[in-house]
Amino acid sequence: MATAQWKTRAVKPEDLHLDTRNPRIEVAADASPSAVRLKLLEHEDVLELARGIERQKGLFFGERIVTTLEDGVEVVLEGNRRVAACQMLLNRALIPVSYRARFPVASAETLAAIAKISADVAPSRKAAEPILTKRHTEQGAKPWSPVAKMRRAARLLEHLPVEEVAATLGTTVAQVNKLIRPYRLLKYALDLPTWSPQERLALEGDKLKTNPYTRLFTLSDTKAALKIRFDKDQNIHSDLSPSKFKKEMTRIARDFLLPDPATGQPVASTRTDTSVYFADLLGAASSDVSKKEAASVGKNTSPTSKDEGKSSSSPRGAHPQQTDGSTNPGPAATPRASAFMENLQCHVLDDRLIKMTTEIKQINHRKRPIAAALLLRAIFECTLVYKLQQTKTWGALVKQQTTAGRDPSLADIIKFAKNFNNGVFAEQNICKMLNAHTTQTAKSYLDGITHYKYQDIDVPTLESVANNLRQVIVYILQGH
């Protein structure tokens, strides 16, 4: 490396531009500085870093940031976390509102210490790449996560031929391609429009375990079921209809990447039997999967794996199979049907719905019928609101309100959601359930308990009401 072109000088953090090509985070190339700071706060412990800077009354000596000039601005190539923390310590207006109360207030000593920081200015991004690779793959700076390494390789490929990327990373072309394909698959999942803010936060986190998801696409059943192929740039293509392929990819991403709130782990893993998971698609494609294997979904049998290393694992919503390895597990306990909401499970990443599901499962509706009725009405309304927000149709409903600033009522929500053409539900049967007389009767009964002081309550009627609403609630909580 020719050091003559490098310079070392003091810079003001507020004059620096955070790098939108930082492999730690997933942002658009034209993302604003505030968007980059928010991503770093959400995923890269910048809040704790800022607290450390305040405790130390400045940055540690001997750790200069690396910058370069691009399009007339000075961009941070190394040290984005530190620079972002300093920017917000120096100017609290830059702190996102959701973090402002928790963000440390810098003392006068700290402000003086970080007003200017030392930077190595590289002649170009390309010249800095070997240093960045060394810092983040060897002991020293916080190591890049597996996803960050994939993302970095993909972003280098946007500007360099694959051979040069391999040389920059100190690896082979084959190894670069092994990084690119998993990232393309992950990026496809990230770009799906279905995710709630909490789900997207989990998908973009550096602790995301991607191997079960990316490995799935190397298996023969997956390739046959999805009819997939990859082009020279490692982008995925399918001979399924676009809508069908998108629906299947959404299901796969939800099952293999997102943790189930009930267990903290994704419902599918490397042990999932793909002949069972893709039974419908494989059957439709006239594959060699037998009817017996397809029928085994949800039964306590152990399907034969078609790919090495697979074992049984049920897809979302199926009954669990025996996985303890015992030769004589004995008869499974017969599950009891819900009289109220005892068996309700929340499979979506929404804090409010997770808490409400837990409470309604635990409440004794026979001893506390009024509280149970109020909770039932609340979870019914909240699941519908969640579904509208997930499908990005909530704004359309709000615009229909005649009174400015007024949130839609439950009656408004049901009326909007039951119209299939509004795009809230992909299945007509759910719209028919919402339109049914039994649903309106159940809502009226719960409204009476909530709003009318003369409305009495009895347990059998409450159980009947719960039975009328259960299917819609369960459908939404299962992540459909």
Does position 302 have pLDDT exceeding 50, yes or no?
no
What percentage of the chain has pLDDT greater than the value 90? 42
> Average pLDDT for residues 118-125, to the nearest whole number?
92
What digits encode the pLDDT tens for the residues 208-249? Answer: 888 899 899 999 999 999 999 998 888 899 999 999 999 999
Predicted pLDDT of residue 19: 94
Predicted pLDDT of residue 304: 44
Instruction: Output the six-digit token pair for 385.
Output: 């609101």
Predicted pLDDT of residue 47: 92
Query: H helices within 234-347, ranges in order?
Result: 242-256, 274-277, 279-284, 291-295
Least confident of 57-71, 132-146, 364-378: 132-146
Does position 184 have pLDDT exceeding 80, yes or no?
yes
Amino acid at 186: L
> Average pLDDT for residues 53-78, to the nearest whole number?
88
Predicted pLDDT of residue 310: 44
Predicted pLDDT of residue 301: 43
Tell me if the pTM is above 0.85. Answer: no
Alpha carbons within 13 angstroms on the beta-carbon side of residue 273 total 23
Least confident of 62-76, 151-165, 245-259, 407-421: 151-165
The Cα 475–Cα 4 span in angstroms is 65
Q: What are phi and psi of 415, to 5 degrees?
A: -60, -40
> Average pLDDT for residues 451-473, to the nearest whole number?
85
Predicted pLDDT of residue 14: 94
Q: Which residues contact 454 (CB under 8 A, 6 or more apart)?
A: none
Look at 109 and 23; give whichever has higher pLDDT.
Answer: 109
Mean per-residue pLDDT over the chain, rounded: 83
Q: Give 136's pLDDT tier (boundaries 50, 70, 90).
A: low
Closest by Cα among 382, 354, 356, 385 to 371? 356
Predicted pLDDT of residue 327: 46
The Cα 337–Cα 176 span in angstroms is 52
Look at 376 and 184; give whichever has higher pLDDT.
Answer: 376
Q: Give 11's pLDDT tier (boundaries 50, 70, 90).
A: very high
Paired residues of 236 in beta bridges: 230
Backbone conformation region of residue 472, classed left if phi is above 0, alpha if psi is from -120 to 50, else beta: alpha
Predicted pLDDT of residue 325: 45
> Average pLDDT for residues 170-174, to the nearest whole number?
77
Predicted pLDDT of residue 316: 46
> Average pLDDT for residues 11-17, to the nearest whole number?
95
> Average pLDDT for residues 274-282, to the nearest whole number?
89
Instruction: Output the six-digit token pair for 457.
Output: 């309550």
Predicted pLDDT of residue 314: 44
Predicted pLDDT of residue 390: 86
Does position 445 have pLDDT exceeding 60, yes or no?
yes
Does position 400 have pLDDT exceeding 90, yes or no?
no
Predicted pLDDT of residue 62: 65
Predicted pLDDT of residue 453: 61
